[in-house]
Structure 1
């Protein structure tokens, strides 16, 4: 069904605040496969593995597959929390709505909205730069790829294009994601097969998955934290829950499918890379510091030849571009939900009359990303690097809070069945505790002055940016509280589960 063939008569068109159960989005416009594609694309698999695997290998050697597997555990447990909460409250506000319902408006606004928004902003600046750099390289403009001004300008153009696509509609964005995701998976699996079948490659060993072989808790924790970044982003697919078929079930299934596909893709690529290149510190070895932030650039040319290596470069480029597109799709919808619940200005509830997308929110987030990129880049490239590194703190913060929100919201139902006890209680609680531990470890590591590129009075710039972002959020919430007092008085009760297809209980 095309965008034009669906009924566009329902739903708000102006800045008036719509009904939270009918925000004007195009219902039933994307199926399970489309939601899975959005979830996979939002993690930027080719980009994420390219820039992280070398760092993981430098930390734990050939135990990189074990780190990926263990890092997946808290992600999986948290995914169960997202699935169960979405079944109860299929709202495109996701973490904002769920944390508000469980813990109140302050937590909902600060941890459920501000923290993931800042994390997305910082990540988007990196994605814009990466997609621009790789695009210029693919086009043979290596001189421009090394020029900060050219890269920033190209990144802004790509960001503008992604914003226009996100504004056009979910079906168009999803269709493009199929092509972009397909290129990434073909490139990663093709490179992996070439690596495994190349004469001289080592035979993959199950010992590389041994979780008890790490050399102490320090390398173990550091590598797992790095792996959390590789998996981060799948939750963006939940923001299209009100536009998906069977809204209270399809997004939850898509969460588990997309995270499982990521695990398989990353493990296969890692096993193949370690088998072929090894973990040495010279040549194409994954332990070589020169390859740490892009092992694909080192492995692809000798394995595939220059022509196919260019395809791998293009895959990383479109990986970052696809993640940008999904972030834009999700952020506008999150702000739309906040507006319908009375927590943001009514202008963010404006829906495009034809495309049925949150126009103002989508364009505003694109513009905010552009401003953030220019400001950080103008201040110093070092600030931009530290801003990206602090994303781990923010991820662990809101993932953990959402996992605990699941346990608290369903606390009166945990005795109803073994399934409820496990999937709504035990596993989300374990996921939340693991995220809390990751947050503590990340804070401990980043507070060191030599962590990252900047420091202030002996405290690492990465820590200051992460904590500073949360502290700034507290000030923002104080201002929002003054502007929207009704939400902060009644938000926990008014952000009630929308009418879902399943039975819904009113928890307090």
Structure 2
């Protein structure tokens, strides 16, 4: 692997990032992508809420929510072929729209969303772990859960710092348990006496009771697909960095769709979409449908395996978050958009040592602060992540279409894969952003409100507004990047010969 920077003035070009190419292949990349989504956790905590809104049309909502994600995945694939840099959205948005948009949308927004998600994943993993150990009293104690969550963050930070190969190996085991548990649950649910025969009407996109429920269900589904793009951040460490990450991105999203549809169909067949008893439409079951249904579907003993799968799902996603964030800031620092300390690579493990420890520490600190403020405040912070996801996915889709705009007439393939699909995905994501922001303004959205405005909106929109201010401040600290960023990123983008 080489960089085009070798052909630039040596005095102007920073040294290579120091990452180890060829460390992970296609299978490892897919495992990292799937693990970062936390499939067992995501479907467990989302399917119930989708069913409350969409009833038996929940599988249709999963399909519709998947469409903009798939289109965005193709945008990531095409951009990675052109610019396989571990900075991903930061580099691509900078190339397309300039350094201010790149730093804010591709840097700040992505890292904020990841840090907030890490607090949720750590808490979920800690709560399930304490419950599995029979420490139910501690699992209901906020201090004990937070302390355990901080220990989990420290553990995954240590694994991430030890090397990508170790992280990928750990993910194989954790991901395998998740998929096996979901498969066992689905097969058992479909095999139970009284289980309904799956119907094609469950996949009818016109079965929703108005646009409101349709939009809400699809927006809920966007969350359960988020995270696969973390695999792109290890593109400089994969075999064939221009092709493998893109293939892995598309493949991982398709596997997620199949997994979610199978689990949803099995759960609806077994329990139905009713609002009482074991029905998935029962609000009491919505926070965790697997915990509600697994004992009756699999028995108490095997239900513990499902709980374990959800626990390791959260922990494995936490690990991938640390891996991806550290590489994102490594790229930003290499392109002179962050302090040089973020470029420090561990001499033996070949990992971004400072960035890895920094993000692990930041996540632990944020979790502690949010817990001390209020459990409701923490919950609303987690809900606000949807706004950030829709924004940076949408901007990335538009960046792809804009970057390749001059070459779209070269072939039908280029027009469709580099123009039409990314543009459509980006517009869908930004429409989701607008709709989400509108819904979040309602003070009843979430658990907190200030001045008659929903706390979730204030946290989501506020973090973006704060990012804009921080970007202006950073521009005074790193004027060269904000003056020459677009051309500098173009010159230093890593690409295979």
Do both proteins adopt the same fold according to a TM-score greater than 0.5, normalized to the shorter chain?
Answer: yes
Q: Residue 18 of structure 1: CA displacement?
A: 11
**1:52-451 matched pairs, under 5 angstroms:** 52-451=46-445
* TM-aligned CA deviation for residue 448 of structure 1: 0.2
Aligned to 1:45: 39
* Structure 1: distance between partners of 2:478 and 2:345: 22
CA contact (8 A) 1:19 1:340 kept: no
Shift of 1:35: 0.3
Q: Secondary structure at the match of 1:140?
A: coil
Structure 1 CA distance, aligned partners of 2:55 and 2:74?
Answer: 31
Q: Distance in 1 between matches of 2:146 and 2:390?
A: 29
Moved more, 318-327 or 279-288: 279-288
Partner of 2:496: 501
How far apart are residue 215 of structure 1 and its match?
0.7
Unaligned residue ranges in structure 2 (runs of 5+)? 1-10
The alignment partner of 2:274 has SS state of: coil
Bigger shift: 60-69 or 285-294? 285-294
8 Å CA contact 1:20–1:340 kept in 2: the answer is yes
Partner Cα separation in structure 1 for residue 326 and residue 426 of structure 2: 27
What CA deviation, in whole Å up to 9, does each residue of 1:205-259 have, x standing for no partner? 0110000111110000000000000000000000000000000000000001100
Q: Is the 8 A contact 1:386 1:453 kept in 2?
A: yes
SS at match of 1:291: coil
Aligned-residue offset at 1:21: 7.7
Cα shift readout 1:422-467 (whole Å, capped 9, x = no counterpart)? 0000010100110011001101100001110000111000000001
Provide the residue aligned with 1:32 in structure 2. 26
Tell me, in whole angstroms, the C-alpha distance in 2 between the residues paired with 1:303 and 1:213.
28
**TM superposition shift of 1:63:** 0.2
8 Å contact from structure 1 (residues 192, 273) kept in 2: yes
- Structure 1 moving runs of 4+ over 2 Å: 17-22, 497-502
User: What is the deviation of 1:399?
Assistant: 0.1
* SS of equivalent residue, structure 2 residue 490: coil
Residue aligned with 1:446, SS: helix
Contact 1:71 1:228 (C-alpha < 8 Å) held by counterparts: yes
- Cα distance, 1:264 vs structure 2: 0.2
Distance 2:13 2:241 in 1: 17
Deviation of the 1:501 alpha carbon? 3.5
Contact kept? 2:85, 2:494, Cα under 8 Å: no
Shift in Å at residue 473 of structure 1? 0.5
The offset of 1:19, in angstroms, is: 5.6
What TM-score do you get using the length of structure 1 for normalisation?
0.95
- Measured after TM superposition, the shift of residue 20 of structure 1 is 6.2
Match for residue 8 of structure 1?
Answer: none
For 1:149 and 1:372, locate their aligned partners in 2 and report how far apart those are by CA, in whole Å: 14
Structure 1 residues not aligned, in runs of 5+: 1-16, 503-508
Change (3 A) 1:143 1:493: same
**TM superposition shift of 1:314:** 0.4
CA RMSD of aligned residues (A): 1.1
How many residues of Structure 1 are paired with residues of Structure 2 in the alignment? 486
Q: Secondary structure at the match of 2:287?
A: coil
